[in-house]
Amino acid sequence: MAQAAASIPATTRAAAPRQQRGWQHRRSGGGSGGGAMRQAPRCAAAIKFAKYQGLGNDFILVDNRHQADPVITPEQAVTLCDRNFGIGGDGVIFALPGENGTDYAMRIFNSDGSEPEMCGNGIRCLARFVADIDGSQPRQYRVHTLAGLIQPALLADGQVCVDMGEPILKAADVPTTLQPTQGEAVVQQRLTVDGKEWLFTCVSMGNPHAITFGLSDGTPIKVDELDLPRMGPLFEHNAVFPARTNTEFVEVLTPSHVRMHVWERGAGRTLACGTGACATVVAGVLEGKTQRTCQVDLPGGPLHIEWRESDNHIYMTGPAELVFSGSVGM
């Protein structure tokens, strides 16, 4: 484990956050959310951090268990996530005191300063982080998030298995204005972007996801042929996704094995997305393309996903590892 100490100017190098959400207990309606935002205090002292990664989706973890509000602002998070001028990361994650009988609460700022409801790779990193800092038992946690209760468990083999709860399919709650095709769900709906008609299934894991396996003319996705930096923003900022969206491009290898590349809301191209992998398997099942148990290969490595019929919950299993720790002056 490497140690680092650095001082990063607290000047803001990015626009104001996409949206400021209240610290609310919300599972559905990943959209604009209500409630007054508690102002995060600007911190004068050095902040201790630890950087973790899950399949290369990397986060700056902050022990924030002494107070209910994040010790740094969204603007400071942008600075810390900068890969040239900061620590570098896809987001900053805060381990907060538990609420409503939970062990901990988690909040996250994306690298652009926006605040998502949930992060799958991030919550595996959070579980590893809290276990590392206090060696706590049990190794199974109840974590309160903006997407509701999420339950990670550290496995004997070093992997982390997370009960991610139930997927949300109602179009208005994803949210998307695309017309539902199956009851209230948007499954294989047509969306024209960049002169092509794509087929999308929309799923919320607390945060919004739009999943495509290909075009309406039958052309399947080939993930190695995608120009993500050009295409990704066209979906992320499309008007049919009022809270923006994470976009997953999926190539089916077999019904139990897919490849997926992601363009994340608020973070751009990342090496992996846990909530995106879960949403991918839900979309695969709804479209009849995958089984409920499926390996999702991401650029950073594989995640094992199971959408269990008995409880309708999704279980995600994958790694979470410490990269280095240090302190940073803000």
110 binds ligand LBFN2T5F (CB under 6 A): yes
Among candidate residues 274, 241, 306, the one with its CA nearest the CA of residue 90: 274
Choosing from 125, 273, 278, 294, the catalytic residue is 273
31 binds ligand LBFN2T5F (CB under 6 A): no
Residue 119 a catalytic site member: yes
Q: What is the DSSP string of 163-174?
A: E----B-BGGGT
Q: How far is CA 137 from the centre of its chain?
A: 26
Cβ proximity to ligand LBFN2T5F: between 199 and 210 the closer is 210
Q: Give the residue, chosen from 113, 120, 165, 319, that forms a contact with ligand LBFN2T5F under the rule CB under 6 A.
A: 120
119 binds ligand LBFN2T5F (CB under 6 A): yes
Cβ proximity to ligand LBFN2T5F: between 211 and 267 the closer is 267
Q: Which of residues 89-108 bind ligand LBFN2T5F (CB under 6 A)?
A: none
Angle formed by the axes of helices 274-286 and 120-134, nearest 10°? 140
57 binds ligand LBFN2T5F (CB under 6 A): yes
Its sign, for the CA torsion 151, 152, 156, 159, is positive
148, with CB counted inside 10 A (0-12, 13-18, 19+), is middle
Q: How far is CA 21 from the centre of its chain?
A: 16
Q: Judged by CB under 6 A, which stretch of 44-52, 99-107, 132-140, 270-278 contacts ligand LBFN2T5F?
A: 270-278
What torsion, rounded to 10 degrees, do the Cα atoms 201, 202, 204, 210 define?
90
**Shortest Å distance, C-beta 46 to ligand LBFN2T5F:** 27
Separation of alpha carbons 32 and 283, rounded Å: 23
Maximum Cα interatomic distance, the chain, rounded to a whole number of Å? 57
Separation of alpha carbons 84 and 58, rounded Å: 15
Separation of alpha carbons 30 and 260, rounded Å: 22
Q: Judged by CB under 6 A, which stretch of 114-122, 160-168, 174-182, 234-242 contacts ligand LBFN2T5F?
A: 114-122
311, with CB counted inside 10 A (0-12, 13-18, 19+), is exposed
DSSP 319: -
Separation of alpha carbons 182 and 23, rounded Å: 32
Separation of alpha carbons 257 and 274, rounded Å: 15
Cβ proximity to ligand LBFN2T5F: between 40 and 314 the closer is 314
Query: What percent of the chain is helix, strand and coil (3-state, nearest 5)?
Result: 15, 40, 45
165 binds ligand LBFN2T5F (CB under 6 A): no
74 binds ligand LBFN2T5F (CB under 6 A): no
**Shortest Å distance, C-beta 117 to ligand LBFN2T5F:** 7
143 binds ligand LBFN2T5F (CB under 6 A): no
Q: Give the residue, chosen from 89, 274, 300, 319, that forms a contact with ligand LBFN2T5F under the rule CB under 6 A.
A: 274
273 binds ligand LBFN2T5F (CB under 6 A): yes
246 binds ligand LBFN2T5F (CB under 6 A): yes
275 binds ligand LBFN2T5F (CB under 6 A): yes
Q: Judged by CB under 6 A, which stretch of 2-10, 71-79, 169-177, 258-266 contacts ligand LBFN2T5F?
A: 258-266
Q: Which of residues 194-233 bind ligand LBFN2T5F (CB under 6 A)?
A: 207
Point out the residues that are catalytic: 119, 273
Give the interface with ligand LBFN2T5F as residue ranges (CB under 6 A): 57, 110, 116, 119-122, 207, 246, 264-267, 270, 273-276
